[in-house]
Amino acid sequence: MAQKLFVGGLSFNTTSDGLREFFTQSGTVVSATVVTDQFSGRSKGFGFVEMESNEQAQNAVAHLNGRDLDGRSIKVEVAKPKTEGRRDSSRGGYGGNRGGGGGGGRGRW
């Protein structure tokens, strides 16, 4: 069964293809994606790699965590599943009723 990994600390120059190639040294890569800003297209400095098996994913964590990729020391760990409490941009922001800013109910003048 495929296992997804979180990869943090990526260089802004790292591409999805470069990420895929780097991880092939630990096994078969099912997918590799560098997360980018939807407006600017610039890398957010992290991504996800899906390895073919749990064993290959554990091998990648053990051998690639802390290694240098494109001049940066990367962090590799098993990805945590999305939870309801995380930000979901499809719901328009952080969700909940948090209010926003404000000056304690008084106007400036």
Q: What is the pLDDT of residue 101?
A: 54
- pTM > 0.85: no
The CATH class for the domain spanning 3-78 reads alpha beta
- Reported as a single tens digit per residue, the pLDDT across 66-93 is 999 999 999 999 999 888 665 555 555 5
Q: Which residues of 18-40 are buried (b: 16+ CB within 10 A; e: fewer)?
A: bbbebbeebbebeebebeeeeee
Q: What mean pLDDT comes out for the span 61-68?
A: 98
- Reported as a single tens digit per residue, the pLDDT across 18-53 is 999 999 999 999 999 999 999 999 999 999 999 999
